[in-house]
Amino acid sequence: MMIFTLAARELRSLFLSPLAWSILAVVQFILAWLFLSQLNDFIMLQPQLKMIDNAPGATELVIAPLYGSAAFIMMMVTPLLTMRLISEERQSGSIALLMSAPITMSEIILGKFLGVFSFLVLMTAMVTLMPLSLFIAGPIDAGLLASLFMALSLLLAAFTALGLYMSTLTLQPTVAAISTFGALLLLWILDWAGDKVGSEQASSLFSYLSILRHFEALGKGVFNSGDLIYYLLFISLFLILSIRRLDAERLQH
Amino acid sequence: MSSDLLINVSHLDRYYGSLQAVADVSFELRRGEVLGFLGPNGAGKSTTMQIITGNLAPSSGQVQICGLDLLDNPRAAKARVGYLPEQPPLYRELSVDEYLGFCTRLNRIPKAQQAAALKRAKQRCGLEQVGPRLINNLSKGYQQRVGIAQAIIHSPDVVVLDEPTVGLDPIQIREIRHLIRELAEDHAVILSTHILPEVQMTCSRVQIINQGRLVFSDDIESLNRSMCARSLILGLQQPPPFSELESLLQNIDGIESVDALEDGRWRIRHAEAQNPATPIARLAIENNWELRELSPETRSLEQIFLDITATEQTLPETTDSNTEGEQAA
């Protein structure tokens, strides 16, 4: 209950700042551009695709790349949303309001996480409106679309958890943003290194750790519980670390 | 009634690294008392307040609020405390109503009573007119009031105010002092300040903290008593020569010594129980000295404050009411 109160406050403050609106607008514009160009390519290719048996449809050729681009863009945008979560409250002193209220540290962290996450889900829903518009033109693989939606939401939840943790570590929002971005980029490209490491074991370890691999698997409509567990573990790890960090704040320095 | 003991702090210690900010602080507070916390910058006032409100954990020691231990039972204990930190903890992008509404939910006030609590807090802090305005657009004084409203919105048993009158104009300061006295009727209030007359006006008890230690703790009456030194100041329009005055005054019971001050007035020291004001006045009239001034000399709280805090080492500018040093901490 208290978590929702905190999340609602977070969401409200987000929408009262121009940041949230400009992020929504910019992301939507860029993705719409990509979506249109993909769609254009697909229409040009359509006569050739007709010749092939069992050819990939619009869902694979237009919608899946859209979510892939969305994931990449969000990797750069999420740090901007998460950076101020704790660090700014600390800087402005408003954290004292939460610390002296009858609520637990877990409620504070979960409330903040949920606030930003619901904003990101809202954004994903807005992105999804574009593929949904294709229903007018023809059949869409609804199962794959649902799977893509879930994959992107899980990915964004993981981004948010990591960003929140980085925000508990520092007083400066910009430092939190740049460290979040660095960490996310590293996780993103981790499997590139994995390919070049000679040993088979190391390679598979790196690609397991890579945040992108699990997204791609889910995005193909391959529902593997391992991928789901990866994200859930990732999210809980950073949420628990954030709670512990906030708790440690009150203790010995 | 034991429930009237609202705060029980025992042997509080707090270290920042190797620096001991609070050392063995213990005190109690009952309902209806206003405790003034005085001390130079960096003395440990704010740290102590942060510990009492659960914003900092003590390195050792215990804080009990209404008998509930703050570390064992933080949620129940914190529900009974309202806290205004040095910097009011505001979300500036919200309006006053939105912000205080959030505070009612944060303090788990039942839904049915939220609107009434909000209205009452606004009315007590004089915020009725600014409800729909953004906190960011309010003046410093109003922001401070919103901070106080936030601290009292859930009618906590204990209200902790860290320098509540900083940055307010004299009229607002008077209103806030009035509010504090009003709060004291059914709460316990802890208040820290640099402004010494404020303590004399609002507090029922005073504690002076210096370098993390409580160096003085007493109620305001005995503080006032100790401030009345045993001397009178006498000012005359047409004074007699010093030797004549001295010999005349020495005849009065209880007078111990007479000194001439640089500005032409006289300081008359007397025994504690006997105030020789009446016979001196009569003497002055009989001799046509044209009495201008005859007043008991009081040691100001400043002097006591300085005496106490300067015993261990000389502190520069301790009575200065600027807060820059502490905000940086």
Domain boundaries along the sequence of chain B: 2-225, 230-298
Q: What is the pLDDT of residue A233?
A: 93
**Alpha-carbon gap, residue A143 to A132, rounded angstroms:** 12
Q: Residue range A249-253: average pLDDT?
A: 70
Q: What is the pLDDT of residue B315?
A: 41
Q: Residue range B252-266: average pLDDT?
A: 78
Does A250 contact B at CB distance below 8 Å? yes
- Buried/exposed B85-107: b ≥16 CB within 10 Å, e otherwise: bbbbbbbbbbbbebbbbbbbbbb
Q: Which residues of A touch B92 (CB under 8 A)?
A: 92
Task: Give the tokens for residue B144.
Answer: 């401070």
DSSP string, chain A: -HHHHHHHHHHHHHHHSHHHHHHHHHHHHHHHHHHHHHHHHHHHHHHHHHHSTT---HIIIIIHHHHHHHHHHHHHHHHHHHTTTTHHHHHHTTHHHHHTSS--HHHHHHHHHHHHHHHHHHHHHHHHHHHHHGGGTS---HHHHHHHHHHHHHHHHHHHHHHHHHHHH-S-HHHHHHHHHHHHHHHHHHHHHHHHSS-HHHHHHHHHH-HHHHHHHHHTT---HHHHHHHHHHHHHHHHHHHHHHHHHHS--
A227 pLDDT above the threshold of 80: yes
pLDDT band at A196, cuts 50/70/90? low
Angle at Cα A190 formed by Cα A187 and Cα A191, nearest 5°? 130
pLDDT band at A166, cuts 50/70/90? very high
A238 pLDDT above the threshold of 90: yes
Interaxial angle between packed helices A2-16 and A105-133, expressed in degrees from 0 to 180 and rounded to the nearest 10: 60
Give tens-digit pLDDT for A56-106.
777 777 888 888 899 999 999 999 999 989 998 888 888 889 988 899 889
Residue type, A189: I
The tally of CA atoms less than 13 A away on the side-chain side of residue B278 is 3
A194, A201 Cβ separation under 8 angstroms: no
Give tens-digit pLDDT for B225-248.
666 666 788 888 887 888 887 787
The domain made up of B230-298 has a fold known as Alpha-Beta Plaits (3.30.70)
A180 pLDDT above the threshold of 70: yes
Q: Residue range B69-94: average pLDDT?
A: 89
Beta bridge partners of B259: B267
B140, B105 Cβ separation under 8 angstroms: no
Q: What is the pLDDT of residue B321?
A: 41
Q: Which residues of B touch A94 (CB under 8 A)?
A: 89-91
Q: Please report, rounded to a whole number, the percentage of residues in chain A having pLDDT higher than 70.
A: 96
**Alpha-carbon gap, residue A177 to A155, rounded angstroms:** 17
B262 pLDDT above the threshold of 90: no
Q: Are strands B60-65 and B5-16 parallel, antiparallel or unpaired?
A: antiparallel
Q: In degrees rounded to 5, what are phi and psi of residue A40?
A: -60, -50
Check CB contact under 8 Å for A102 and B91. no
B49, B192 Cβ separation under 8 angstroms: yes
- Answer with the residue of higher pLDDT: B153 or B324: B153
Q: Residue range A106-122: average pLDDT?
A: 94
A105, A246 Cβ separation under 8 angstroms: yes
**Alpha-carbon gap, residue B56 to B58, rounded angstroms:** 6
Around Cβ B176, how many Cβ atoms within 10 Å? Answer: 23
Does A17 contact B at CB distance below 8 Å? yes
Q: Residue range A141-146: average pLDDT?
A: 84
Check CB contact under 8 Å for A250 and B57. yes
- Answer with the residue of higher pLDDT: A13 or B275: A13
Maximum mean pLDDT: which of A235-239, B9-13, B114-118, B171-175 = A235-239
CATH class of B2-225: alpha beta
Q: Which residues of A touch B106 (CB under 8 A)?
A: 2, 5-6, 97-98, 101, 103
Task: Give the tokens for residue A3.
Answer: 């978590």
Does A16 contact B at CB distance below 8 Å? yes
Check CB contact under 8 Å for B107 and A13. no
B16/chain A closest Cα distance in angstroms:
6
Q: What is the pLDDT of residue A175?
A: 93
Give tens-digit pLDDT for B16-41.
888 888 888 888 888 888 898 887 77
